C-alpha cells in the first residue's frame, strides 16, 4: 500500500480490560448527567443481541481493513453468530472508505500511520479513562478518527460527539509530539443508515474543551457527584426505569391534566411536543421493568400476570403442506421478493440496471419533528392553496 506504518494493537476487549467507568461510548450520558456513572455501577451489564451484532461487525471490519492493507489476518466469519451478506457489504465499504482517506493523507504526509483497534488513553483528563479506536490515521497537519457504527436504530452524528473527541484526545496523547497536528477530523461511518458524518476541529479548540468542560465534569462523574439531568441520553442508562429524576421530569406533563389540544394554549402544546417522545419512552421502560420484576416473583398491588394474546401457528409446516396437497388443494402462495431482498439477490448494479424506472419511493407519512431536523419541510394544504 505504499508508504504508511500500520499498528494493529489489541483492543480492550481482546486484552480483557473491560470498560472504563467513564468510557467513550457512554460519555454523552455521563457528561450530561454526571452522577449516572456511579449509579449505573449498581446494575449488571446484561448485553443485548444488538451489542453482540455490533461486536461481530467490528471484528469483520477489522479483518477487511487489515486484508486491504496487506496485513495477514484470520477470517472471523465462521465464528460470527450474526454474520450475513449485509454485514459483509458494510465491512467492505468501511475498508474502502478508510483506504480513500489514507490516500488523501499520503498527499500531505510521506509516512502516515494507520492504527487499527488501537487502545487509547485519555486519563490526563478523565480518571481511569481509556477506550478502543476503530481506526486512526495520523499524518502531518491532520489526525483522522473513524468510528464504525453498525446500528440502524439511532442516527449518530459526528458533530460535537464526545465519544469521538475522547478517541481524538487519546490519539493526540500518542502522536501530537511527533507529528505537527493542527486539526482533527472525526468521522462516523454508519452504512446501514447511509450515514457518513464528519466533523473537523482544531487541536487547540479540542484541548480547550478538554480543560474547560471534560476535565471538571469527569471529576464530578467519577466522584458520583453533580446534578441528575434528563434528556435523550437516558435511553442508554441502566437506571432509566427506576430513576426518580427521570420520573419527575416526565411527570411534569401531568400538570396539563392531558386536556385536549383545543383547550391548551399554543405554547403549552409546543412544550408538550418537546417532551412527549421522552414521556412515551419512559412509560414503556417502567412497564418493561415492572413486567420483568413480576416474572421474577414480585407482586404489584392491584396487578397480576396473565397470558397475553397469541396467534395460531402450524406445528409442522411440511406436514401441513403434505396433508393439504393430498386433499387436492395448493398449500402455497406466490409473492414477489421485497426490494431489499431483491437487491441482495441481483446485486446493486444489476438491480439498478434491470429495475430502473420500476421502483419508486413514495413520500412518507407527514410527521412533526423539531426544526433542527435536516429533512425539508412539506407544504400543508393551506400553503398549497395560498400559492395557487
Do residue 13 and residue 138 come from a single domain?
A: yes
Can you read off the three cell numbers belonging to residue 141? Answer: 497537519
Residue 13 pLDDT greater than 50, yes or no: no
- pLDDT averaged over the chain? 87
Q: For residue 155, give the nearest of 376, 373, 377, 369 by alpha carbon.
A: 373
Give the lowest-confidence range in 67-71, 168-172, 185-189, 276-280: 276-280
Asked if residue 365 is part of any domain, the answer here is no
Can you read off the three cell numbers belonging to residue 314? 402450524
- Residues 115, 121, 124, 125, CA torsion sign: positive
Query: Which of the 8 DSSP states describes residue 375?
Result: S
Q: What number is the average pLDDT over the span 252-267?
A: 74
Question: Has residue 184 got a pLDDT over 60?
Answer: yes
Query: In the prediction, which pLDDT does 12 show?
Result: 40
Q: Are strands 181-190 and 141-148 parallel, antiparallel or unpaired?
A: parallel
* pLDDT at residue 10, rounded to an integer: 42
What confidence category does residue 258 fall into, taking pLDDT thresholds of 50, 70 and 90?
low
Question: Do residues 22 and 38 touch, judged by C-beta distance below 8 A?
Answer: no
- pLDDT of 30: 95
| pLDDT reading at 387 higher than 80 | no
- Tell me what pLDDT residue 210 has: 97
Identify which has the larger pLDDT, 6 or 34: 34
More confident residue, 157 or 15: 157
Q: Are residues 174 and 48 in the same domain?
A: yes
pLDDT at 7 over 60: no
On whether residue 378 sits in a domain, the answer given is: no
Q: Identify the DSSP state of 213.
A: I
Q: Hey, which of 124-133, 275-284, 353-362, 366-375 has the most confident mean pLDDT? A: 124-133
Same domain, 135 and 199: yes
Same domain for 250 and 136? no
190 and 262 share one domain: no
Q: Taking Cα atoms as reference points, which of 154, 145, 166, 160 lies closest to residue 236?
A: 154
Q: For a pLDDT cut of 70, what percent of the chain falls above it?
A: 91
CA distances from 70 to 78, 162, 371 (A): 21, 32, 46
Question: Which stretch of 200-204, 314-318, 344-348 has the lowest confidence by average pLDDT?
Answer: 344-348
Q: Please count the structural domains in the chain.
A: 3
Residue 116: give its domain's CATH number: 3.90.320
Does the residue 370 lie in any domain?
Answer: no
pLDDT, residue 3, reads 55
H or E element in which residue 138 lies: strand 130-138
* Mean pLDDT of the region 90-107: 94
Residue 229 lies in a domain: no
Give the pLDDT confidence score for residue 282 in this predicted structure.
83
Of 174, 194, 223, which residue constitutes the final position of a domain? 223
| Percent of all residues in the chain with a pLDDT value above 90, rounded to a whole number | 49
Domain shared by 163 and 255, yes or no: no
Please give the pLDDT value at position 368: 80
Query: Does residue 197 sit in the same domain as residue 50?
Result: yes
Q: How far, in Å, CA of 186 to CA of 161, rounded?
A: 9
Neighbours of 180 (CB within 10 A): 12
Q: Could you give the angle at the alpha carbon of 174 between the alpha carbons of 164 and 52, nearest 5°?
A: 45
Mean pLDDT across the stretch 220-229?
93
pLDDT value at position 384?
59
Mean pLDDT for the stretch of residues 370-384: 73
Domain shared by 251 and 171, yes or no = no
25: three-class secondary structure by DSSP? coil
pLDDT of residue 278: 80
Looking at residues 75-83, what average pLDDT do you find?
A: 89
Residue 363: inside a domain: no
- Does pLDDT of 380 surpass 70? no
41 belongs to a structural domain: yes
Helix (H) or strand (E) holding 31: helix 27-32
Q: Which three cell numbers stand for residue 291?
A: 413486567
> For the residues 172-200, what does the mean pLDDT come to?
92
Task: Decide if 126 contacts 217 (C-beta within 8 A).
Answer: no
- Identify the domain containing residue 57 by its residue range: 5-223
In a domain? residue 383 = no
Burial (CB count within 10 angstroms: exposed 0-12, middle 13-18, buried 19+), residue 108: exposed
User: What number of other Cβ atoms are within 10 A of residue 22's Cβ?
Assistant: 27
Q: Is 184 in the same domain as 246? A: no
- Mean per-residue pLDDT for 150-176? 93
pLDDT at position 9 is: 45
pLDDT of residue 16: 42
Same domain, yes or no: 97 and 137: yes
User: Would you place residue 11 in the very low, low, confident or very high pLDDT band (cuts 50, 70, 90)?
Assistant: very low
Both 257 and 167 in a single domain? no
pTM, two decimals, is 0.72
Lowest mean pLDDT among 31-35, 130-134, 336-340: 336-340
Same domain membership, residue 39 and residue 142: yes
Q: Classify residue 148: in a domain, yes or no.
A: yes
Decide if 282 contacts 292 (C-beta within 8 A): no
Amino acid at each position: 500500500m505504499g508508504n504508511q506504518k500500520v499498528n494493529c494493537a489489541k483492543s480492550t476487549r481482546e486484552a480483557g480490560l473491560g470498560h472504563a467507568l467513564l468510557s467513550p461510548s457512554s460519555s454523552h450520558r455521563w457528561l450530561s448527567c454526571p452522577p449516572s456513572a456511579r449509579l449505573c455501577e449498581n446494575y449488571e451489564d446484561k448485553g443485548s443481541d444488538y451489542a453482540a451484532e455490533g461486536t461481530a461487525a467490528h471484528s469483520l471490519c477489522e479483518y477487511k481493513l487489515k486484508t486491504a492493507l496487506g496485513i495477514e489476518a484470520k477470517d472471523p466469519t465462521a465464528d460470527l453468530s450474526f454474520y450475513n451478506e449485509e454485514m459483509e457489504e458494510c465491512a467492505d465499504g468501511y475498508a474502502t472508505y478508510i483506504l480513500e482517506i489514507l490516500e488523501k493523507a499520503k498527499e500531505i504526509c510521506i509516512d502516515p500511520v494507520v492504527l487499527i483497534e488501537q487502545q487509547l488513553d485519555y486519563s490526563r483528563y478523565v480518571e481511569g479513562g481509556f477506550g478502543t479506536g476503530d481506526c486512526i490515521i495520523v499524518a502531518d497537519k491532520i489526525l483522522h478518527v473513524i468510528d464504525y457504527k453498525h446500528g440502524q436504530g439511532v442516527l449518530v452524528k459526528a458533530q460535537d460527539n464526545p465519544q469521538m473527541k475522547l478517541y481524538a484526545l487519546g490519539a493526540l496523547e500518542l502522536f501530537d509530539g511527533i507529528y505537527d497536528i493542527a486539526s482533527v477530523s472525526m468521522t462516523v461511518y454508519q452504512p446501514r443508515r447511509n450515514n457518513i458524518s464528519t466533523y473537523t476541529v482544531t487541536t487547540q479548540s479540542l484541548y480547550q474543551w478538554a480543560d474547560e468542560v471534560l476535565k471538571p465534569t469527569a471529576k464530578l462523574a467519577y466522584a458520583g457527584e453533580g446534578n441528575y439531568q434528563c434528556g435523550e441520553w437516558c435511553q442508554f442508562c441502566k437506571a432509566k426505569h427506576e430513576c426518580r429524576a427521570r420520573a419527575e421530569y416526565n411527570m411534569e406533563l401531568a400538570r396539563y391534566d392531558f386536556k385536549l389540544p383545543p383547550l391548551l394554549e399554543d405554547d403549552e402544546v409546543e412544550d408538550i411536543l418537546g417532551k412527549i417522545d421522552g414521556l412515551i419512552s419512559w412509560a414503556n421502560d417502567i412497564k418493561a421493568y415492572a413486567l420483568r420484576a413480576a416474572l421474577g416473583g414480585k407482586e404489584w398491588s392491584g396487578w397480576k400476570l396473565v397470558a397475553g394474546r397469541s396467534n395460531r401457528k402450524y406445528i409442522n409446516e411440511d406436514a401441513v403442506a403434505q396433508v393439504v396437497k393430498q386433499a387436492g388443494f395448493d398449500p402455497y402462495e406466490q409473492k414477489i421478493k421485497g426490494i431489499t431482498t431483491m437487491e441482495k439477490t441481483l446485486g446493486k448494479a444489476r438491480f439498478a440496471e434491470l429495475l430502473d424506472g420500476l421502483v419508486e419511493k413514495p413520500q412518507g407519512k407527514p410527521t412533526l419533528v423539531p426544526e433542527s431536523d435536516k429533512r425539508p419541510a412539506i407544504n400543508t394544504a393551506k400553503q398549497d392553496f395560498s400559492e395557487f
